[in-house]
Amino acid sequence: MNQLDAAFHSFVTVGTVLFCLGIALVTQVVRTIVEAVWKGAVVNDLWNEVIVRLGPILIGAVLVFTSKTFPWPAQVTGSHLALSFYGAACGVASAYVYAAFKAWLTVAATHGSTTAKRLLPRKFPKSVMHPDPSGT
């Protein structure tokens, strides 16, 4: 195994995948709460184009400092800046990891897995998730 492969395997671990899924979960919860409280967020360009896109990056950079016992990669544990970059990178990757995990669950559910069917997110009518901001 060459050095690049070894570095890749030290960063892409089960812990990293779980951390990315955690960031995606926290991001979704925050987004749902904000869009439920602030009815105009769905149509606000600042919210959709800036805050929603930067949210996972910032959440990852903040969450990385909340756990002292999480198995962080050894290469980043000695520096707060390195931990911040690791958290931000996991935030960037969180949407992809969530999409891959959801696709895996979908495939498992179509092949008869009842656990995967229970874990898949439920779909709500658009009117429930994003009510008409005009109130009509």
Report the 10 Å Cβ neighbour count for 33: 10
The per-residue pLDDT of the chain, averaged, comes to 81
pTM over 0.85: no
HEC profile of 12-39: CCHHHHHHHHHHHHHHHHHHHHHHHHCH
Could you tell me if 59 and 23 are in contact, meaning their C-beta atoms sit under 8 angstroms apart?
yes
Identify the band that residue 26 occupies on the pLDDT scale cut at 50, 70 and 90: very high
Could you tell me if 16 and 75 are in contact, meaning their C-beta atoms sit under 8 angstroms apart?
no
Question: Is pLDDT above 60 for 125?
Answer: no
- Please, is 89 exposed, middle or buried when counting C-beta atoms within 10 Å of its C-beta (0-12, 13-18, 19+)? middle
Q: How far apart are CA 22 and CA 41, in angstroms?
A: 23
Q: What pLDDT digit, counting tens, does each position of 101-115 carry?
A: 888 888 888 888 888
Could you tell me if 13 and 90 are in contact, meaning their C-beta atoms sit under 8 angstroms apart?
no
Q: What pLDDT digit, counting tens, does each position of 33-82 carry?
A: 998 898 888 888 998 888 888 999 999 999 988 887 888 888 888 888 98
